[in-house]
Structure 1
Amino acid sequence: MSFSQVSLDYYLDAEHPYNKEIPQPKSLLGYEVGSWHVSHDQLVHYMTQLAASSDRIQIENRGSTYEGRPILLLTITSPKNHQRIDEIKKAHLALTEASAEEIKLEEQPLVVYQGFSIHGNEPSGANAGLLLAYHLAASEAPETLKMLEELVILFDPSFNPDGLQRFSYWANTNKNQTLTSDPNDREYNEVWPGGRTNHYWFDLNRDWLPAQLPESQVRIKTFTEWLPNILTDHHEMGTNSSFFFQPGIPSRVNPLTPEMNQKLTQKIGSFHAEAFDQLGSLYYSEEDYDDFFYGKGSTYPDINGGIGILFEQASSRGHIQESDDGLLTFLFTIRNQLTAGFSTLKAATSLRVEVLNYFKDFYKNNRAEASKNKQKVLVFGNEKDPATTFHFAEMLQRHQIQIHQLQKDINSGGNKYSTSNSMVIPLNQKKYKLIQAMFTKQSEFKDSLFYDISAWTLPYAFNLNHSYETDVNLIGYKILEVLPPKGTVTSKARFAYLFEPHGYYVPKLLNHLQQNNVRVKVGLTPFKVNGKSFEYGTFMIPVKNQEHSEAELYRIVQEGAVSAHITVHGSDTGYTEGIDLGSRDFTTVKKPEIALLVGEGVRSYDAGEIWHVLDTRHAISISKIDVKDLSSVDMSRYTHLIMPSFSGSGLNSHIAKLKEFVQEGGTLIGYRTTVKWLQKNEFIKLDFLESSLTAKNINFENKGNFEGAQLTSGAIFNTTIDRSHPINFGFQNTSLPVFRNTNLYIKPHQQSFNNPIQYTSNPLLSGYISEENLALIKNSVPFQVQRLGSGRVIVLTDNSNFRAFWYGTNRILTNALYLSDKM
């Protein structure tokens, strides 16, 4: 069927009884679904009008994206159910309680959460959502009416509004009137960074567990309010594929996921198979995709008593494209996604009581497991960084995990936990399994291949001390809403203000002070004043020789302290135990002028993580410099250039210019694969440790498995750190957990003081790494800094800003920005 001839009949049965008072998509969009790519604003308009015309739909704006777009939720069910929706929700959640045995499941609706296009450039899901929502609002068929009586459907028409808008603009503005299927056409080749991600270039389908981004926080709020039984997540994959539905690869299911979850996923899959058999569309299951990392939409439900289901449709990436199976049209991809939407609802209706029973039993088994566990509580905290502790607790509460105040001070595992800076998680609670998933440490696996990361132990990510304990008397009062720490200035100073480097928002305070032209110094050695000890990296604000009066300086410092949640200490003397405040060991902190390399060849995820942490958390202004514009940029206006992970040859023509930037006093900070490029082009001298592994007795069929087993897709490792080195200012312990997803290993420098961060001899904390790579990483170093002319080159093999939730190592980047001239 050509695009000019497309009609609603291509998707929906022309003989199906529909209420003519309900607007079809074309009547409001001005085109039939699939003729153009729906933009998010059009989608919002249609869904709003659809809800207004139907008593089966209630619509809410649940929040906003970074770009201010609404995040909609449609609750779709029968009018009768809408009248008692609060009662239905209450009864549904009651299935998680001990009294659930008394509830009659035959009368209880099932809750289904259908979400579309979390990757914005995988648009067939959101476009299919238009048709599915219309059908549910307008169909008068008996089977639809029965379905609406037995289901409550939580319907999110666009999981990623900003990405969908970005991609729809690209696809529509590059569309030909006479369509071309040539995959080389501009329509099918987005410019960097593409529409997959959100505003800050994050993959939103990795944020269900960390829940750091506004889109995710809205979804988690909806999820935890309802605890849906089935959640579907509509995606796209390579053009030469067909259609995938779960279950995934059996050997790659997280061991915390109950076996019955997979059996029910298989049963639901049979409904998809039947629907696609009738349609005649190719499909497959139990290959390619796994159910391991709980940060994805198709796995997060599995650890919450639900069933997550991934759909992957071969992508047309535009309107029509050549594929190995012939021409792949956008219309066809939409129809397949719609088919999966229908088969999901059919399965949910048919298996309703069985799935509800599973849901009830999941929480019953939860309670039984928790009661048998000898460990009764988890204690966590950070003695000198209450802001990070707050953000960790805030994340837990987003998932409705109960946290309590610590009842009494304890020492455990060499760490001190005090009532003022620590909290307690009782393990005997509804979210016991989810807590396990967040704190789990696993290093042995059935399979050596992973679709995504193999470890995410969250207290390591936040660099928090944590300990399992058996004493229930450690549980204090329940914290209903965790509050951020209060920042303050202890007293108005006559001589200087001092603040320690430990607080997460120290860079935000530094930036605030420098933006207000306040001169700040940093102490390179510890000291004590007025009986209080101050560690390496303490910052000092002299009262004299500032541009501001004492009163105005106090106001600026107080304003910054409150904003950054930091305690600033006023001192009336510069005479201390240790270095005095006038010592040459206090050096001025220069204001960085920061450029971030972006564009073709730069890994957009990595660049987005850096942009996000500096912009949204510390309010630090950066200039994003596109690789294609680098030759015309005056680099003398910048002090620092951050180079995220990079691939390709796009930088080769800029080698001389970048070297000149460093040699004239600039600092270049290179991450991950960029490190190799910097070494190859003699920006820095490094020796790499390489694996000599060769394949022996491996046949061609197993080539992919052999090579895949050598990938370090994401694991956590332990390092020892030199706290006297400026790159480590602010860290409290001599060990630091780091996240790594590369196989780049640097040999330690011969001078030990040049190895301020070094992997231990037994570094694996959690996750998978091959034996060959484990041998290489032992005692290697992920960080080096060297002089080049008047400037410095700083390299990091690891991602210290991973996915917005690796709070524990964010400071490495900001130390490299503010303290590079001290290294």
Structure 2
Amino acid sequence: MKLTQLLILTSFIYLFTTTPLIGQDYFLKDKTPFDDKIPSPEEFLGYPIGEQHTRHDQIVAYFAKLAELSERASIESYGKTHENRKLIILTVSTPENVKGLSRLKEQHLKYTNPSITPSNYNELPIFVQLGYNVHGNEPSSSEAAMLTAYALVASNSPEIKTYLENAIVFIDPTINPDGRDRHTQWANQFKGNPLVSDNYDAEHNEGWPRGRTNHYWFDLNRDWLLGIHPESRGKLTWYHEWYPNVVTDFHEMGTNSTYFFEPMKPIGSQDPIMPKENYEDLNNLFAPYFSNALNNIGSFYFTKEAFDGTYPGYGSSYPDLQGALALLFEQASSRGHLQDTDYGTISFPFTIRNQYVSSIATIKAAVENKETLRKYQQNFFKSAVTNVAKNTIAGYEFGDAYDQNRNKAFIDKLLLHKIKVYKKGDRYVVPVKQPQKRMVQTIFETYNKYRDSVFYDASAWSVANFYNMKYKGLKSLSLEEEVTSTAGVVDITKVSKSDYAYIMDWDDYNAPAALYYMQSKGLLVASGFKPFSIKTSAGNKGFNYGSVLIPVSKQKKTSDEVFAIVKDAQEKFNVPVFSTNTGFSTSGIDLGSGNFRKLDTPKALLLIGDGVNSYEAGEVWHLLDTRVHMPITKLRMSMFNRAPLKEYNTLVMVSGGYQQLDSLQQKKIKEWVSHGNTLVTIANASKWVIDKKVVKEKLIKKEKDTVKNKTVKRLPYVDARENIGRERVGGAIFEVDLDITHPLGFGYRDASLPVYKNNEVFMAPSKNPYATVAKYTEDPHIDGFVSTDNYENYLRPSASLLVSAIGSGRVILFADNPNFRGSWYGTNRLFLNALFLGKHIYVPKVRE
């Protein structure tokens, strides 16, 4: 080994093995002098940064103290988490800038207005938003946020003063407080004294579901586009108020890695909607700042090889579609306080310092390139309304005539992203030519050609398909009334009192929530298994499959009490409910028909714990908690043997290995189902019940090569990862043909339904002709990447949704995930039908 190589390696090992718990000088010695009236993080917390993990409430308290003591800082809250923790932002600049922030904001926002052309590019401070800790168990960045805030508020160095004069810095120290505190508690409670660096120590191996995700086990770094959770909705509302020029997104990665900053690997789409100037010019402009800063402290790093910003819902990609430069940073994680690596040990303070140094370097780069960034933001929004090609789509028309609450949810998402929406009769129109043109493209456009075949995440995100929102492109527009809120989107007739019966449409997205509310209040209800028309208080009305009947005379309550409950249900969930005074239908089944089946109240179990996909489990929990307002018992795998299954009528299993369920427990599940109960399996759990022969269905499996001595094509080793990754279905959207006469299809009017697939579970259609509820169509591709082999040989011939009988019960098998990321309003109904109608779903026996 050459001497220079030996010196570099020795330096690298030294950096990792040193545990520098030496107070703030390790981080801040080049930012002196400091204002002694401002406490450092160490003085405020009572321990040096990096000595232990800091709770979110302590971080908030420290930021509040900085704002209290210094005219350089102000603090605001932009929301609360599911667990009621504050989401806060500290704004830091000169006292003059902080006092005049509203005036500066007004001038800054002119650059986002395509109709005007300000040119004072260098006179206005640049707006920089530093975002930290979106993944709760990637904790180094929140500690760095405190150091960054202290340096900006307390340092009197010429460098810091220059930054303050030329920048407004917004510091969001913890984007995911619930997850952070879950991880903080874990790391601190298992911290040893002396520190234990052994990778197998409990400190470095969190228990399920780990701290990465929020309260409902969602990955908030995928939620910028989807805007499902209060953390994201609060941040998006704040974002569209300020439109910062630069946004950071600090993360951690594998312990044996080093440090990553942008540029990323080349963007995956052949026709990206993000301007090339962003992902090439601006990233390359900023990269030397990070390189120099990390070189100065001897840290190693890499760029260009990994990660991609193709999915527009990351903290490092969404701002790119808002005229900003979004920047991803990834630090090798100590996953605790000190951990072994291939190059010695890596300490928590070391990881924090890299994040802190990159934070300061970001501000420096932004300040020194103010003019470039402002011109870019200005051109970004101007190009949205000027660069519209001829003979292309002028806008999109959408709207579901039968489901106003799904319309409302979709419009809410458009408005959250500041997309302009207009009313057109009973439908809606979104013009392409508007400042948020690129978000319009994101919502509606679909793709099937890609430069790259391996994606860091999903390759499909056309949100209109998430909502099963049928839409069409328009060549010309005639815009009428602009929709600025969702307040008047749902327009229903208030139900009037009846002494005979009430009928609720099942087509509406909120109908399951209203049904559960009525059941929980003690009403007896039934589902219509065939359509009918009947005279109601609103005239003759046609009702679809699944319509809910509330017969007044069958209740154990007075007619006034029944009406009060029905009225409350309608008001709470804004659903179409009608009264009738007759059981005689003008067409179809009468109200006394045997095709009305009494519905039992779901009493459901969800298996959770080690080996279970926490994302999918959280999606089920979130759906039932926040939209249906129905409890579900979350049963840890370790408690399975003790649980009295007979007290429940529904069991949900999401993707997982389920190694804990031995043959006796598998038999227990099968016997429970056979007694008339419902097992619902999602994705890899469906594969599990097939592999374990709980059901008699089959998978379409890839054939093994049995030919001996067959010549195998020789391929370059360097291409192995991409070639193998190409066969992974990372996330794409496909069309299925749904049997809308089947109870699982109740509430749908159109047999064509988009579904989301991010697995390699390919179920063969059932041999029973009535058991394949949804099958992929002949040409099912809608959006996203899928390899030719997977598409032609496995996906196209397979089924998306099956029902398999066991005794008097049934197993409902989803090959795809109907609840993906809390956003698939279009397929949630399939899952909810399984819960509410499960008892009445059977598979007619046929001769084999």
TM-score in terms of structure 1 length: 0.96
What is the identity, as a one-letter code, of the residue corresponding to 2:803? V
SS in 2 for 1:685: coil
Deviates more, 1:348-357 or 1:692-701: 692-701
Structure 1 residue 507 corresponds to structure 2 residue 512: yes
Conserved in 2, the CA contact under 8 Å of 1:121 and 1:167? yes
Per-residue deviation at 1:367? 1.6
Structure 1 residue 687 corresponds to structure 2 residue 698: yes
SS in 1 for 2:226: coil
Q: Distance in 2 between matches of 1:708 and 1:747?
A: 24
Q: Distance in 1 between matches of 2:497 and 2:289?
A: 71
Per-residue deviation at 1:44? 1.1
Task: Indicate which of 463, 466, 483 corresponds to 1:479.
Answer: 483
Conserved in 2, the CA contact under 8 Å of 1:486 and 1:566? no
Q: How does 1:95-114 map to 2 (within 5 A)?
A: 95-114=111-130
Q: Distance in 2 between matches of 1:206 and 1:693?
A: 36
Structure 1 residue 644 corresponds to structure 2 residue 644: no
Cα deviation code 1:5-56 (max 9, x no counterpart): 4211111116711111111112221111100100111111111111111111
Cα deviation code 1:58-109 (max 9, x no counterpart): 1011110000000001111111112221121111111122454343112122
Q: Which residue of 2 aligns with 1:741?
A: 758
Structure 1 residue 783 corresponds to structure 2 residue 801: yes
Q: Which residue of 1 aligns with 2:678?
A: 667
Conserved in 1, the CA contact under 8 Å of 2:731 and 2:758? yes
Distance change in 2, residues 1:3/1:486 (3 Å):
farther
Q: Which residue of 1 aligns with 2:9?
A: none
Q: Which residue of 2 aligns with 1:337?
A: 355
SS in 1 for 2:135: coil
Q: Distance in 2 between matches of 1:90 and 1:519?
A: 58
Q: Distance in 1 between matches of 2:566 and 2:658?
A: 46
SS in 1 for 2:388: helix
Structure 1 residue 397 corresponds to structure 2 residue 415: yes
Conserved in 2, the CA contact under 8 Å of 1:488 and 1:558? no
Q: Which residue of 2 aligns with 1:211?
A: 227
Per-residue deviation at 1:562? 1.2
Structure 1 residue 600 corresponds to structure 2 residue 618: no
Q: Which residue of 1 aligns with 2:84?
A: 68
What is the identity, as a one-letter code, of the residue corresponding to 1:496? A
Conserved in 2, the CA contact under 8 Å of 1:488 and 1:566? no
Q: Percent identity?
A: 36
Per-residue deviation at 1:494? 2.6
Task: Indicate which of 163, 166, 172 corresponds to 2:179.
Answer: 163
SS in 1 for 2:481: strand
Q: Distance in 2 between matches of 1:14 and 1:723?
A: 68
Q: Which residue of 1 aligns with 2:461?
A: 456
Per-residue deviation at 1:731? 1.0
Task: Indicate which of 309, 314, 338 corresponds to 2:327.
Answer: 309
Conserved in 2, the CA contact under 8 Å of 1:489 and 1:557? no
Distance change in 2, residues 1:15/1:700 (3 Å):
closer
Q: Which residue of 2 aligns with 1:562?
A: 571
Q: Which residue of 1 aligns with 2:551?
A: 542
What is the identity, as a one-letter code, of the residue corresponding to 2:572? S
Per-residue deviation at 1:232? 0.4
Conserved in 1, the CA contact under 8 Å of 2:19 and 2:347? no
Q: Which residue of 2 aligns with 1:409?
A: none
Distance change in 2, residues 1:60/1:102 (3 Å):
closer
Structure 1 residue 257 corresponds to structure 2 residue 261: no
Deviates more, 1:595-604 or 1:143-152: 143-152
Deviates more, 1:59-68 or 1:90-99: 90-99
Cα deviation code 1:305-342 (max 9, x no counterpart): 11111100000000000001210000100001001101
Conserved in 1, the CA contact under 8 Å of 2:676 and 2:839? no
Per-residue deviation at 1:427? 2.1
**Count of aligned pairs:** 809
SS in 1 for 2:122: helix
Q: Distance in 1 between matches of 2:837 and 2:414?
A: 33
Q: Which residue of 2 aligns with 1:621?
A: 631
Q: Which residue of 1 aligns with 2:784?
A: 767
| Root mean square deviation of aligned Cα | 1.6
What is the identity, as a one-letter code, of the residue corresponding to 1:629? M
Cα deviation code 1:211-246 (max 9, x no counterpart): 111000111111111111111000000000000011
Per-residue deviation at 1:489? 4.1
Deviates more, 1:346-355 or 1:603-612: 346-355
SS in 2 for 1:717: strand
Per-residue deviation at 1:740? 0.5
Q: Distance in 2 between matches of 1:795 and 1:138?
A: 59
Q: Which residue of 1 aligns with 2:744?
A: 727
Q: Distance in 2 between matches of 1:372 and 1:359?
A: 24
Conserved in 2, the CA contact under 8 Å of 1:370 and 1:429? no
Distance change in 2, residues 1:75/1:434 (3 Å):
same
Deviates more, 1:166-175 or 1:434-443: 434-443
Q: Distance in 2 between matches of 1:15 and 1:251?
A: 37
Conserved in 1, the CA contact under 8 Å of 2:331 and 2:351? yes
Per-residue deviation at 1:488? 5.1
Conserved in 2, the CA contact under 8 Å of 1:110 and 1:348? yes
Q: Which residue of 2 aligns with 1:572?
A: 581
Q: Which residue of 2 aligns with 1:179?
A: 195
Q: Which residue of 2 aligns with 1:532?
A: 541
Deviates more, 1:273-282 or 1:692-701: 692-701
Structure 1 residue 9 corresponds to structure 2 residue 25: yes
Per-residue deviation at 1:386? 0.6
Deviates more, 1:750-759 or 1:563-572: 750-759
What is the identity, as a one-letter code, of the residue corresponding to 1:712? V
Per-residue deviation at 1:651? 2.2
Q: Distance in 2 between matches of 1:821 and 1:596?
A: 17
Q: Distance in 2 between matches of 1:102 and 1:489?
A: 51
Conserved in 2, the CA contact under 8 Å of 1:247 and 1:265? yes
Q: Which residue of 2 aligns with 1:355?
A: 373
Per-residue deviation at 1:251? 4.4
Per-residue deviation at 1:811? 0.7
Per-residue deviation at 1:692? 4.0
Structure 1 residue 235 corresponds to structure 2 residue 251: yes
Any stretches of 5+ residues in structure 1 without a counterpart? 407-418
Q: Which residue of 2 aligns with 1:412?
A: none
TM-score in terms of structure 2 length: 0.93
Q: How does 1:48-87 map to 2 (within 5 A)?
A: 48-87=64-103
Q: Distance in 2 between matches of 1:295 and 1:511?
A: 33
SS in 2 for 1:118: coil
Q: Distance in 2 between matches of 1:222 and 1:729?
A: 39
Structure 1 residue 297 corresponds to structure 2 residue 315: yes
SS in 2 for 1:720: strand
Structure 1 residue 226 corresponds to structure 2 residue 242: yes
Per-residue deviation at 1:700? 2.7
Distance change in 2, residues 1:109/1:4 (3 Å):
closer
Cα deviation code 1:127-161 (max 9, x no counterpart): 11110000010111122111111111111010101
Per-residue deviation at 1:426? 2.2
Any stretches of 5+ residues in structure 2 without a counterpart? 1-16, 706-711, 842-848
Q: Distance in 1 between matches of 2:31 and 2:766?
A: 75
Q: Distance in 1 between matches of 2:509 and 2:660?
A: 35
Per-residue deviation at 1:676? 1.6
Task: Indicate which of 597, 612, 621 corresponds to 1:587.
Answer: 597
Per-residue deviation at 1:628? 1.1
Cα deviation code 1:673-693 (max 9, x no counterpart): 111211122211122212348
Cα deviation code 1:412-458 (max 9, x no counterpart): xxxxxxx23x2221222111111112212001100100000000111
Conserved in 2, the CA contact under 8 Å of 1:3 and 1:35? no
Per-residue deviation at 1:802? 0.5
Structure 1 residue 516 corresponds to structure 2 residue 521: yes
Structure 1 residue 612 corresponds to structure 2 residue 640: no
Per-residue deviation at 1:393? 0.8
Cα deviation code 1:343-363 (max 9, x no counterpart): 111111111111111111111
Cα deviation code 1:580-617 (max 9, x no counterpart): 10000111011111011110010000000000000111
